[in-house]
Amino acid sequence: MAKSAKNTPAKKPAPKAPRRRPTKAQPAPSAEELLGFYREMLLIRRFEEKSGQLYGMGLIGGFCHLYIGQEAVVTGVHANAQPQDSVITSYRDHGHMLACGMDPNGVMAELTGRAGGLSKGKGGSMHMFSTEKNFYGGHGIVGAQVPLGTGLAFAHKYNEDNGVCYAYFGDGSVNQGQVYESFNMAQLWSLPVIYIIENNKYGMGTSIDRASSTTELYQRGSAHGIPGEQVDGMDVIAVRDATASALEHVRGGKGPYILEMLTYRYRGHSMSDPAKYRSKDEVSKVRSEQDPIDNLRQLIIKTKAADEAQLKEIDGEIKAIVTEAADFAKSSPEPDPAELYTDILVEA
């Protein structure tokens, strides 16, 4: 049970600078790379805003977990990915799928439950997969993706394909027993997996300090000898750099690595969550001071990687992609009733 607010000791840990193990210096990102990050983060943001709108119009149902605020995490990690690598995450998965290059039309049509969706409308917001992009879902049971991702890493090692699995999970999931079972096996067998803890400070309505005995999540592998690092997950370049140095360890055959990404979700846990457990000030402070897209935009202007007009042009392109996805998701037909009985077993 979560600790009640009353019992919480009055300790409010002073906001600390992110603790960083010495990330090996990486080459500064090129202008092209910066614009790529901008484009990708903006796509996720606009896509999620559109999802929220369609949900409000009754076109998307059930759970719908938006990734707004956390865009720098998946974007910075994926900047280092190689084609043979694999990705697995929770139900908060739209951003991950877009970062993996999955078709925005197919993702959006899955959200609306249409035949054109990536799972033919049978998976929904939380359950999409792509064999082509090595995206392994989309999992609804908190923590389940951690051993599954460890299994993907097991397969990378078994198949000797030099791939790495990026297994994403939340600050709420870190307390699941299966996470530690996975840590133990991953280290025992030197599996190529990066555990990416997206610490957005809340698991549903429970803040991390009410759910976790220790909140330095990057240390959660220390009992198993897994190195960890805390990263400013609102800074896409910091994420990129930390992932690159973690990859040297992991692809070098030294076993797993933990990256704790300090991030924040701007919206509620899912669409039905009014997020009363935190103050409006808390949210607006993060948005105004730490927003990953605003900050990158300023960096781009400052370093003259692009000017306002060029960025505006990108904004327009992204808007067009998202509009098209929404149109597709609205006009794609509902699945054929016969689909109810298909895909239960492989024809043997």
Ligand X SMILES: Cc1ncc(C[n+]2csc(CCOP(=O)(O)OP(=O)(O)O)c2C)c(N)n1
Residue ranges that bind ligand X, judged by CB under 6 A: 90, 92, 140-142, 169-173, 198, 200, 202-204, 269
Could you give the string, one character per residue 49-88, with x where binding to other proteins holds by CB under 8 A and - elsewhere? -------------------------------------x-x
Question: For residues 159 and 136, what is the distance between their CA atoms, to the nearest angstrom?
Answer: 17
Strand 165-170 and strand 228-232: the pairing is unpaired
Question: For residues 343 and 334, what is the distance between their CA atoms, to the nearest angstrom?
Answer: 17
Which CB, 38 or 195, lies closer to ligand X? Answer: 195
Q: Which of 69, 170, 233, 292 binds Mg ion (CB under 5 A)?
A: 170
Question: For residues 75 and 239, what is the distance between their CA atoms, to the nearest angstrom?
Answer: 8
The answer to whether 73 and 99 are in contact (CB under 8 A) is: no
Which CB, 208 or 311, lies closer to Mg ion? Answer: 208
Which CB, 90 or 182, lies closer to ligand X? Answer: 90
Q: Using CB atoms, what's the residue nearest to ligand X?
A: 170
* Both structure tokens of 40: 């990708």
Interaction between residue 203 and Mg ion (CB under 5 A): yes
Which CB, 110 or 171, lies closer to ligand X? Answer: 171
The answer to whether 265 and 48 are in contact (CB under 8 A) is: no
Q: Which of 46, 139, 201, 297 binds other proteins (CB under 8 A)?
A: 139
**Size of site (CB under 5 A) for Mg ion:** 5
Inter-CA distances, 159 with 84, 162, 163, 249, Å: 11, 8, 9, 19
CB of 141 to ligand X, least distance (A): 5
CB of 203 to Mg ion, least distance (A): 5
Strand partners, 205: none
Inter-CA distances, 213 with 8, 81, 156, 209, Å: 12, 33, 33, 7
Q: Which of 75, 89, 112, 130 binds other proteins (CB under 8 A)?
A: 130
Question: For residues 193 and 318, what is the distance between their CA atoms, to the nearest angstrom?
Answer: 32
CB of 209 to ligand X, least distance (A): 13
**Tokens 């060029």 belong to residue:** 310
The answer to whether 47 and 40 are in contact (CB under 8 A) is: no
The answer to whether 246 and 263 are in contact (CB under 8 A) is: no
Binding to other proteins (CB under 8 A): which residues in 140-159?
140-141, 144, 146-152, 154-156, 158-159
Residues in touch with other proteins (CB under 8 A) = 86, 88, 117-124, 127-131, 136-141, 144, 146-152, 154-156, 158-159, 177-178, 181-182, 184-185, 188, 342-346, 348
Residues in touch with Mg ion (CB under 5 A) = 170-172, 200, 203
